[in-house]
Amino acid sequence: MTELARICKDQLEEIEVISCKGVSDPGAKRLAKLTKLKSIHLENLQSVRDPKGVLDHLKSRLPNCHVTYPPFTNDSNDGSDEDQVT
**Cβ atoms < 10 Å from Cβ of 3:** 8
In this predicted model, what pLDDT tens digit does every residue of 27-36 receive, in sequence order? 999 999 999 9
Q: Which residues of 34-45 are buried (b: 16+ CB within 10 A; e: fewer)?
A: beebeebebeeb
In this predicted model, what pLDDT tens digit does every residue of 11-49 receive, in sequence order? 899 999 999 999 999 999 999 999 999 999 999 999 999
pLDDT confidence bin for 9, thresholds 50/70/90: confident
Q: What does the pLDDT read at residue 75?
A: 59
pLDDT confidence bin for 5, thresholds 50/70/90: confident
Domain 2-74, classified CATH 3.80.10.10, yes or no: yes
Domain ranges of the chain: 2-74
